[in-house]
Structure 1
Amino acid sequence: MKKYLYLVTLFIIATCQAARAGMLKGRVTDTKGLSLPFAIVYIDNTTTGTSANADGLYQLTLKPGTYKVVCRYMGFSQVMHTVTIKGEETVMQDFALKDQGLEMKEVTIKDEDPAYAIIRKTIEKRSFHLKQVRSFQTGIYLKGVLRNRLLPDVGIMKLMAGKDAKGKKDKKEVAEALGMDSTGKAVLYLCEEKADYYSAEPDKRRTVIHSVRESGNPNGLGFAQMPPVITFYENNINLLDNISPRGFISPISDNALHYYHYKYEGEFKEGKYTIDKIKVIPRRAYEPLFEGTIYIVDGDWAIHSLSMLLTKKSGMSFLDTMRIDQAFLPLREDTWVIKNQVWYPTIKILGFDITGSFVTVYDNQKVNEPIPDTIFGEKVISIYDKTANKLDTGYWTNVRPLPLEEDESTDYKVKDSIRIHDEDPHIKDSVRRMGNKLSLTGLLLTGETVNTKEYKQSFSWNPILPIFDGMVNYNTVEGLNIAPKLWWAYKADTGKTLSAKVAMRYGLSNEHFNAIAKLMYRNDSRDWKGRNWTIGIEGGRYVFQYNPDNPIPEFYNTVSTLFYRKNYMKIYERWQAAVAASRNYGNGFKWNGKFEFQHRIPLSNTTGYNWASPNVLPFTDNLPAGLGAYRWAEYNAVLLKLSASYQPGYSYVQYPDYKMPQSSNWPVFTLQYEKGIPGLVNSITDFDKWRFSIKDNIRLKMLGSLSYVLAAGGFFNTNYVGIPDMMHLDGDQTALATTYLKGFQLAPYYKYSNAESVYGEAHIEYNLQGLLTNKIPLLRQARWYLIIGNNTFYARQNNYYTEAFISIDNLGWKLLRFLRIDFVESWDNTGANHAGFRIGINASGPLRISVRNDGGEW
């Protein structure tokens, strides 16, 4: 009993002491009074501390006691003050730092700069410092902010402000509608996070996010995977994929001496340590290299601190500049741990001049201490506390290690007010009604969507012009045809969706009217994103291409038919009734199946109208070239189609209310099977068709990336195979490229169609992503990438096709770099040799052009 009372007493005393913790506050400046942003302030001989904010203001919660408090900033001599905290009080302590006085080493005079000897020793010990951390755990505070510092063009601002700019003509008034002041300055994004991070060899990691706050977004979730440490002990440093796909070469990598010059600038003492200051200079422009200053701990040959800059000449493809500052503290003998890290991105786009700072403060670091196995369970790499984004301002006032700057405090208040205004039901409904207004662009080019109240239902239809799945097209079978498509969707709060699609089509030349419809029910898991199942039915009569993958977009065929007398698209008519189902488990595995009845009807050309030169060859028959022996009459077909795919290696982020799968580095394996069932409702189709494929993208760091699709397939049984059921190459006979890593850029559409028992297919692309082109003056400044590759189909000695290509990728301007030009040369079993150019859209670029066909043929 006495022991129990003793423990309770100790607990009460400890709790009271924690409650009586005081606050140390102050400002960090140089001797002239200028603020030193993000200086580190910490307790001597510990890693406990904080960072100042961009104005040099800091705050540090401390229990009662006397402390030696150190302030450090790159390029300045550290300062130590003794501070006493007596209780629940605020103690003010400013720091004024002097410029760092440097001494020069006594060295033997020789041609080489002393920096090279220091760097060589650091490189020799790089692997030691990298591998000495077998496990790591730390507390993290992140504050990210993006600001605009220049008033954009009034037209751009009006476009972004939308209805908020209505009736405003003055530039300053429009700026205010966007939350900017009269000079264009504004906080565009503000986020804070508190988390714990754990890692262990070989590849275990987890971030536990305790709290997150996004300005203006009460449901904001910030960054699920904060970069805990960008370690310059790695040879290749990958910041973000959209900054540079190849990564950047560390100034202390194994091969760094081939890429960098170094200049010794002196040394200084910091406690018992001697710190060497070295300037890092790239040997060549337009290589993925840093420039800046690195401080090395003499003897330990460890990084003390650094400031590294990346620019467009470093090969960045998204930002204009990025500076990374890091500061380390000694944890114990020969072990230095990160204390703070700051990213400073800048970008100019569409008249906006955006600058940012993402400061990460690390605390309570532990190296090579035991971590419970339960921390790394269930493949969850990040997990949020249930209340992570529900905490109030009082919580953040108590836990925030960096004081907010004035404009940040204002931004929280202003955006909260705007959010409350925008969440008013009347305002939301007004926005909906504004969005429902029809526009000339929507009617002609992009299609229109109308939403009902609370966005429960939506109605959409395709545009009039044929560029993006438009209503009006032309072909030699139907002539001018009108093909409206309508979509309807009802979304319930439970994650269930009921949707329908109706397509109608009338050919003015053949006078056929067709209509088809489908009804789909989809159930999405509310607590596991990406996990869903669907069922659906469809039926009607419509026009289809012989190749169910629709290799010829109707717009392309309209242009080629009218202007060049090339009627590439070959079509037939069919009645059909089908039932389909699919399931995605959200873990890399998914399947789908379809059972359908088809009544297939051949069609013939009914018009020859065109605007081509009289010297051009006449139109071809509607039956695909090379398949004349397959002339056919109407018949019935019953088909069963099954497909399953799996990508191993999925990981997950557990948000407060749901789990989100993350992409995997493993290949995608896909198996497809299709059965033609004879006898049922007079079906004459009788075949068994299969295909197995592997798709992957391999990052090769400095060497670029390798993407491939390898496939094998064929027919087990070919008693009756109709033209639509054959194996068709995704060919291309227009100047616009077909789908990369799937299509054949010069192959005639149906020349290689077959029902072979076994065939092989390969699509391989090696993207150098700046390698080699960064050596050619004009190309490196344009930031164009070189791609080489091959597409091959092989069935047997007298049935194969192959093509090789060399491409220039990343064409465009600023962020709009989505174009690609290919030069392709092809060979086949007949000895035919062709060459040509194709213009395409980079699949990994920011632009996506698609039509809403729900994965079907229509």
Structure 2
Amino acid sequence: MIRRYFFLLLLLASSQSFAQHVIKGKITDAETGDPIPFASIILKGTTTGVNSDFEGNYNLEAKKLSDSITVSYLGYISASKALQNQPEQTVNFQLKPSDFEMEAFVFEAGENPAFEIIRQAVERKEYFDKRNLSSYESKNYTKIEIDVDHVSDDFSHRRSVQKITAILDSIKQLTNDEGQKILPVFFSETLSKFYYRNNPVLRKEVVEKSRITGVGITDGSTTSQITGSAFQEYNFYKNWLTIVEKDFVSPIADGWKAYYDYDLLDSVLVGADSCYVLQVYPRREQDLAFTGTIWINKETYALKQVDLAIPKEANLNFIERIKIQQELVPTEAGPLIPSKSRVQIKIGQITPKTAGLLAKFYTSADSIRTGEPKPTSFFNQAVTLELDYASGDDEFWKINRQDPLSEEELAVLQMVDTLKRIPIVRFFSEGLKFFGTGYLNVGKFEVGPWPGFFNYNDIEGVRLGMGARTSVKFSNKWELEGYGAYGFQDEEFKYTAKVKRILDRFHWTTLSLSTQKEIDQVGLEISNLQGNSVFLAASRFGTLRRPFLNTNYNFQFQREFFKGFLFTSNLHVRQFDPLFDFYFLEKDTREYESNFETTEVQASLRYGKDEIIIINDNARTSFGPSKWPIVQLSYAKGIKWLGGDIAYSKLDFYLYQRLNVGMLGVSRYELFAGKVFGEVPYPILNNHLGNETLFYTSAAFNTMNFNEFASDQYASLRYRHYFEGFLLNRIPVIKKLKWRAVANANILYGSVSDKNITNTPNVDPLGNHLETFGRLDPSKPYVELGYGVENIFKFFRIDFFHRITYLDNPGAKPFAVKISGQLIL
């Protein structure tokens, strides 16, 4: 019995000698409250330490305690805290960002050892790039938070802001470590299934559940399509990553040595993998490149983790910081999939009297599977919503979200719900939407557009107008639209009426019928300038160029047969009534005619291989292509036996593409070619768009006069290049201003057949001179070259254009200066 107790005491003493102390806690960013993954935690004066996980949590076990524990991470100020002599304790840290500047490293002999690691990682990219998978799918969870921060004193003392803060004082206030209040304005959570297939490259996200709360958010269907993981994809195995519409070079890009320097910092164990830890930083501080840390597997040279940021010195507007943290896991087939990604975008104060903005995005993926790809028809719509996507309550999200919300995030939800109900907030948010979209939401209807409320020109004098359309709250199958205006000088009433029926939202299929009576201008038709609002508005005020009263009826059918392939057909009847001196010779009788009617049947095919389309309420919205061009082919035929006065045919071809040309920047080009068959009045020809306004537009030839040239066969190339700071970043004084060089080249070939030249007389029946149209020499192109600077005071752009050919034309301007304004990052 004594021996048994003696053995028990010995066992207890032995276990006590091996007893461990456990210290756990969380490392967060003092400014944003977000976790800091991969931070180094070490007991002071020992070699005992661990790294925090992706959520910033750590758990350190030690046989013996020291007096304090220290946390450090690149880009942050290290911190230490005292420890208690306890077997288990919790110690949290809030680290403050530091203005980190990498010192120059000098290697006495041989190559930088980090270079060989990067070289091996680049050579093995094809084994680990997820784009090499034939297909994969995953279940994703995404959350987005947008906060107002860095509120200036002038901003916070405004009467309207004080009304808001007075109401919010009853709620737990969110602050950063410096005591500055953070005001959340948006929070969303999304559960979805993500699908990918290769050859062809297609992606699809099915949003199963989505919860959105935010200031100014009145309908969640559109927002739910863009808050999922489909728009939060960051693949560092690509040479270039597109973030906020800018292209940033990856640290393991093929041309890595031209953009980056590296330092081998350490060798650590991450999970079960031994990894190299490398610091990366741009060779030129203003290049669109990353700085931070990457972890590369010692055995396979695969990326394990990244923690990268865009430095403040990068040539970006308003953005103080972009930070991307990512954790990657291998699939069964070998290539890597990001299992967790966190992105922070911090936008500074536009003026000292305003506030800043902080956007935080988090995505996690699990249940990753590879296998047989889905059929291409499955990917017809890039983002779809389940019928009950908005039905999840608090309990559902508590059970189903992959990662629990922190106390701060729960407070964010409560604050946003309260904030969006404050009357003055609703007033300002609705006002901002009204200004941006042109329409004011009133129940199931939208009133607008506001640019059409007032106008003044030499034909109508003062013009007043008003319009309205139904919203998706009225119906997701029917859309009604109407607009009316009255000119007090011409005493004419103008109108637009339209009804659209949506037959199929998956294979986007619609029928629409519309009628319109409106004043238009030859070569400046409203239908061709809808995407150039400033230029359109400038051309509609003052003196109108060759105006005519356009009365038309249009019946349209549209269907997307498979992803990216859109078919559109129209039956279009138009009455042309000139409000200027115009005549043409009727084909058969050769009598003078001044007005005409056309009945036109049109069909067009449009294909965008990787174009991202979402259904925005009752309309399709394109986010543009990422790599491949958009191609469109159109054919139209004017038919006399359906009531038209003129028989003709039109064939048009259009090609658009965005090109990433590496360190040189980004290019965009548009190729347009066509031909008009038959004898027609010149308003039916292609009246090439000139620009006599002060404002720059990419849709026009900026040194060409209005109505200077028309063609019945034509081909044009518009090339625009954005250097993104490539040239001006190297000039010491200019680079501080963050100006960016731009360049343009516009070329046009065209001609007019003899029958369409003789069709338009130079004099009217009374012998008075008539303005007709100019013609291009088929062997001599119209050429203009331009160069300029954008991002002046972060808003203005100025372009200088030189007209190279046709300098002898009456009124030709060999040189033109155009200005424009744009909010770009």
Give the alignment's TM-score, normalised by structure 2.
Answer: 0.70
Task: Give runs of aligned pairs for residues 685-700 of structure 1, distance below 5 A.
Answer: 685-700=645-660
In 2: Cα distance, 1:432 partner to 1:344 partner? 29
Query: Partners of 2:299 and 2:544 in 1: how far apart?
Result: 73
1:802 aligned residue = 782
**2:486 counterpart of 1:537:** no
Query: What is the Cα deviation at residue 535 of structure 1?
Result: 1.0
Of 738, 748, 762, the residue aligned with 1:792 is: 748
Residue of structure 2 equivalent to 1:232:
236
Change (3 A) 1:750 1:157: farther
The Cα shift of 1:692 comes to: 0.6
Moved more, 528-537 or 392-401: 528-537
Secondary structure, in 3 states, of the residue corresponding to 2:119?
A: helix
Whole-Å separation in 2 of the counterparts to 1:335 and 1:546: 56
Distance 1:537 1:255, change over 3 A: closer
TM alignment of 1:125-140, pairs within 5 A: 125-130=124-129, 134=133, 135-140=135-140
* Deviation for aligned residue 1:271: 7.6
1: CA distance, partners of 2:117 / 2:168: 52
Partner of 1:304: 304
Q: Judging changes above 3 Å, is the alpha-carbon distance between structure 1 residues 693 and 157 closer, same or farther for their aligned structure 2 residues?
A: farther
Q: What residue is the counterpart of 1:581 in the other structure?
A: 555
Q: Secondary structure at the match of 2:410?
A: helix
Report the residue type matching 2:320 in the other structure. Answer: D
| Counterpart-to-counterpart distance in 1, 2:729 and 2:206 | 41
Please state how far the C-alpha of 1:821 moved relative to its aligned partner. Answer: 2.0
Q: 1: distance between equivalents of 2:714 and 2:233?
A: 48
Query: Aligned pair 1:146/2:146, yes or no?
Result: yes
Counterpart selection for 2:485 from 497, 500, 503 = 503
Query: 788, 794, 800: which one pairs with 1:822?
Result: 800
Aligned match of 2:716 in 757, 761, 767? Answer: 761
Residue 398 of structure 2 corresponds to which residue in structure 1?
A: 397
Aligned partner of 2:748: which letter?
A: T
Relative to 1, partners in 2 of residues 1:520 and 1:195: Cα closer, same or farther, differing over 3 Å? closer
Give me the whole-angstrom Cα distance separating, in 2, the residues matched to 1:334 and 1:520: 54
Matched, 1:513 2:491: yes
CA deviations on 1:126-156 (whole Å, 9 max, x unpaired) are 3333379635444433333233332245558
Distance (Å, rounded) in 2 between the aligned partners of 1:330 and 1:751: 61
Q: 1:705 to 1:199 in 2, by over 3 A?
A: same
Residue 353, structure 1, aligned to residue 308, structure 2 = no
Q: What is the match of residue 818 of structure 2?
A: 839
Contact kept? 2:308, 2:323, Cα under 8 Å: yes
8 Å Cα contact 2:318-2:349 kept in structure 1:
no
Q: Secondary structure at the match of 2:399?
A: helix
Partner of 1:473: 457
**SS of the counterpart of 1:289?**
coil
Kindly state the Cα deviation for residue 588 of structure 1 after the two structures are TM-superposed: 4.5
Q: What's the offset of the Cα at 1:374?
A: 6.1
Inter-partner Cα distance in structure 1 for 2:26 and 2:294? 22
Pairing 1:163-178 to 2, within 5 Å after superposition = 172-173=165-166
Superposition deviation, residue 679 in structure 1:
11
Q: Residue 296 of structure 1: CA displacement?
A: 2.6
Q: State whether residues 692 and 713 of structure 1, in contact with CA within 8 Å, keep that contact through their aligned partners in structure 2.
A: yes
Q: Aligned partners of 2:169, 2:676: CA distance in 1, in Å?
A: 66
Superposed displacement of residue 481, structure 1: 1.9
In 2, Cα distance between equivalents of 1:383 and 1:173? 40
Query: Could you tell me how far 1:277 is from its partner in structure 2?
Result: 2.4
Q: 1:674 to 1:748 in 2, by over 3 A?
A: farther
Q: Is the 8 A contact 1:215 1:412 kept in 2?
A: yes
1:358 Cα offset (Å): 2.7
Pair 299,784 (structure 1): closer, same or farther in 2 beyond 3 Å: same
| 1:845–1:592 Cα change, 3 Å | farther
Selected match of 2:673 from 712, 722, 730: 712
- Choose which of 734, 742, 758 in structure 1 pairs with 2:693: 734
AA aligned opposite 1:187: P
Residue equivalent to 2:631: 668
Give the AA of the match of 2:818. I
1:227-266 paired onto structure 2 within 5 Å: 230-234=234-238, 236-242=239-245, 244=246, 247-266=247-266
Whether 1:363 and 2:340 are equivalent positions in the alignment is: no
**C-alpha distance in 1, partners of 2:277/2:569?**
61
Greater mean alpha carbon deviation, residues 328-337 or residues 790-799:
328-337
Aligned to 1:569: 545
CA–CA separation in structure 1 for the residues paired with 2:198 and 2:439: 51
Question: 1:339, CA displacement in angstroms?
Answer: 4.2
| Secondary structure at the counterpart of residue 744 of structure 1 | coil
**1:669 Cα deviation after fit:** 0.9
Name stretches of at least 5 consecutive residues in structure 1 with no aligned partner: 1-24, 42-49, 59-71, 77-91, 100-107, 159-164, 560-566, 605-621, 625-629, 848-858
Residue identity matched to 2:321:
T
Report whether the alignment pairs 1:487 with 2:491: no
Specify whether residues 825 and 409 from structure 1 end up closer, same or farther in structure 2 by C-alpha distance, changes over 3 A only: same
Deviation readout 1:618-637 (Å, 9 max, x if unpaired): xxxx999xxxxx99665554
User: Any idea what the Cα deviations from partners look like across 1:565-591, whole Å, max 9, x if unmatched?
Assistant: xx672335x5x7543212332564253
- Report the CA distance shift for 1:337/1:347 in structure 2 as closer, same or farther (over 3 A): same
Gaps of 5+ in 2: 1-21, 40-51, 60-70, 77-87, 96-106, 530-534, 585-589, 753-775
Q: Percent identical across equivalent pairs? A: 14
The superposition leaves residues 671-714 of structure 1 with CA deviations (integer Å, 9 ceiling, x where unpaired) of: 2435274996xx8x545141412131222252434333333334
Letter in 2 for 1:835: P
Amino acid at match of 2:127: F
Q: Structure 1 residues 716, 846: closer, same or farther in 2, change over 3 A?
A: same
1:827 to partner: Cα distance:
0.8
Q: Which amino acid aligns with 1:790?
A: N
- Deviation, 1:178, is 12
Match of 1:564 in 2: none
Q: Distance in 2 between matches of 1:36 and 1:548?
A: 52
- TM-score (norm: length of structure 1): 0.67
| In 2: Cα distance, 1:373 partner to 1:434 partner | 41
Distance 1:280 1:434 in 2: 41
Q: Deviations over 1:69-90 (max 9, x none)?
A: xxx99789xxxxxxxxxxxxxx
The question of whether the paired residues in 2 share the 8 Å contact of 1:496 and 1:521 is answered with: yes
How many pairs were matched up? 694
Structure 1 CA distance for aligned equivalents of residues 268 and 363 of structure 2: 26
Q: Deviations over 1:710-739 (max 9, x none)?
A: 333344222xx43433432212233333x4
- Once residues 133 and 447 of structure 1 are traced to their aligned partners in structure 2, the CA distance between those partners, rounded to angstroms, is 41
Distance 1:341 1:470 in 2: 48
Structure 2: how far apart are the matches of 1:701 and 1:732? 29
Structure 1: distance between partners of 2:334 and 2:440: 65
Q: Secondary structure at the match of 1:410?
A: helix
- Paired residues of 1:122 and 1:301 also in contact (CA < 8 A): yes
CA RMSD of aligned residues (A): 5.1
2:112 counterpart residue number: 113
For each residue in 1:763-822, what CA deviation from the matched residue of structure 2 results, as whole angstroms up to 9, or x when unmatched?
Answer: 3333334333433345544242322312313227735551222233543545xx464523
Would you say the 8 A contact 1:693–1:709 is kept in 2? no
Q: Which residue of 2 aligns with 1:320?
A: 320
Q: 1:788 to 1:277 in 2, by over 3 A?
A: same
Amino acid at match of 1:392: D
Once residues 433 and 199 of structure 1 are traced to their aligned partners in structure 2, the CA distance between those partners, rounded to angstroms, is 40
Tell me, yes or no, if the aligned pair for 1:735 and 1:839 is still in contact at 8 Å. Answer: yes
Following superposition, the deviation at residue 525 of structure 1 comes to: 5.0
- Distance in 1 (CA, whole Å) between partners of 2:155 and 2:596 is 59
In 2, are the aligned partners of 1:53 and 1:404 still within 8 Å (CA)? no
Pairing 1:281–2:281 present: yes
Cα deviation, residue 310, structure 1: 0.6
Does residue 748 of structure 2 align to residue 749 of structure 1? no
Provide the C-alpha distance between the structure 1 equivalents of 2:312 and 2:73, rounded to a whole number of angstroms.
Answer: 25
